[in-house]
Amino acid sequence: MERLIVPMQPGCSARSGATPSLSAATSPEAVSRENGNVPSGPSMNSSSSLRVEALNPPNELPAGRTVLAEQLEDDFALVQLDTTFVTLLSEISALEPDHSDGQGWPDAESARSGETSRTQKIETVLARLDPVERAILATPARTIVGLGVKARHAAYVVSEHWDAPIEQIDWDARAVRLLIEAICKAAGVRLPFPHEAGQ
């Protein structure tokens, strides 16, 4: 008995003995649609799923929540580093003269002793901060969330760009400052110093 050979149409599976209609009917998309798992239409790969979720997020989550969750997952290491970074900056800020409780020393000797103690504490925190900064620099950012972490750290490193109003600083410093501020705004993160800095 001669074997019946059915010509294959473009785009059909080349599995032995499968006709175009059978291949289409047993495709993963068709089976999933039949089981009610996914909506009809072309299949989505992993690179396009994030864009689709951003346009049409699941009903159980508010708009943008799915995208944010995936971004936090992709840049989880940077987010953790940023949490430690901000915490250590807060410790340093609390030790600064404007925030510390060591004002009004009774005599010069007490003032010197208090200043020495404060300096030592700041240096201790800076020693803990150093490896965190190096890790932020070495860890690649995969989303706008991670990019915001890096921008906040960059603002801390070049904080002198916020010492004066922007129209009074050099052109190159202005370009760096505006870029960092734009990234932080897009990522939804604050600069690592008071909001009124550089105003």
Phi, psi (degrees; rounded to nearest 5) at 61 = -120, 145
Q: CB neighbours (10 Å) of residue 74? A: 16
Predicted pLDDT of residue 99 = 53
Predicted pLDDT of residue 106 = 65
Cα–Cα distance, 151 to 82 (Å, whole number) = 11
Cα–Cα distance, 155 to 183 (Å, whole number) = 11
Task: Give the 3-state DSSP-derived string for 36-89, with helices as H, strands as E and coil as C.
Answer: CCCCCCCCCCHHHHHHHHHHCCCCCCCCCHHHHHHHHHHCHHHHHHHHHHHHHH
- List, for the chain, all residue ranges whose pLDDT scores fall below the cut of 70: 1-71, 98-107, 195-199
Q: Which of 142, 155, 126, 17 is nearest to 79 (CA)?
A: 142
Predicted pLDDT of residue 48 = 37
Predicted pLDDT of residue 186 = 96
Predicted pLDDT of residue 187 = 95
Cα–Cα distance, 37 to 179 (Å, whole number) = 44
Predicted pLDDT of residue 41 = 42
Predicted pLDDT of residue 55 = 34
